[in-house]
Amino acid sequence: MEKKPQIIDIKNIVDERGQINFFEFEQEISFKIERVYYISQVLPNFDRGHHAHKKLQQLILAIGGIIEIELDDGLGNKNIFKLDSLNKALFVPAGYWRVLKFGSKEVVCMVFASQKYDENDYIRNYQEFLEYKKS
């Protein structure tokens, strides 16, 4: 998989009992998962993110609703990706400033990450991010 932000199709099978979704290392996800976290109960008028990562790669899913994710490469390119289905996930490579907008308080943002939590991997200041991307 090329290291650029992209919506990944998540396989699903539907039968009379309901739906099952699945993804696997190397098929749909290019990194080994070291950490899983999820964000929930985000109130209207709040969003999340507002940071970038130096090395961390992530696969992001919206469970039970819609999440819009703005990705900024710090070089003048911004794209908005809409997660509105359990059959879609967003691959976020390292080096993108992200803002996550939640469509409702009920939606859960499920994140599969390539590394354990490390505050040193975060860039939380946008100016610092722009400098980092220039260098």
**Structure-block tokens of residue 32:** 């080994």
Residue 13, Cβ neighbours under 10 Å: how many?
9
CA distance linking residue 103 with residue 11, whole number of Å: 23
In the region spanning residues 106 to 125, those forming contacts with ligand TYD, defined by CB under 6 A, are: 117
Instruction: List, in order, residues 6 or more apart from 27 with CB less than 8 Å away.
Output: none
Beta bridge partner(s), residue 72 = 78, 97
Q: Which of 48, 82, 88, 133 binds ligand TYD (CB under 6 A)?
A: 48
Tokens representing 124 are 């939380």
Residue 38 as a binder of ligand TYD (CB under 6 A): the answer is no
Q: Does 88 bind ligand TYD (CB under 6 A)?
A: no
State the nearest-atom distance from the C-beta of 54 to ligand TYD, in Å.
Answer: 14
Residues in contact with ligand TYD, total (CB under 6 A)? 7
Residue 101 within binding range of ligand TYD, rule CB under 6 A: no
Tell me the backbone φ, ψ of residue 126, rounded to 5 degrees.
Answer: -65, -40
Could you say which of 22, 37, 38, 46 contacts ligand TYD (CB under 6 A)? Answer: 37
Candidates 6, 10, 21, 51; binder of ligand TYD (CB under 6 A) is 51
- Give the interface with ligand TYD as residue ranges (CB under 6 A): 35, 37, 39, 48-49, 51, 117
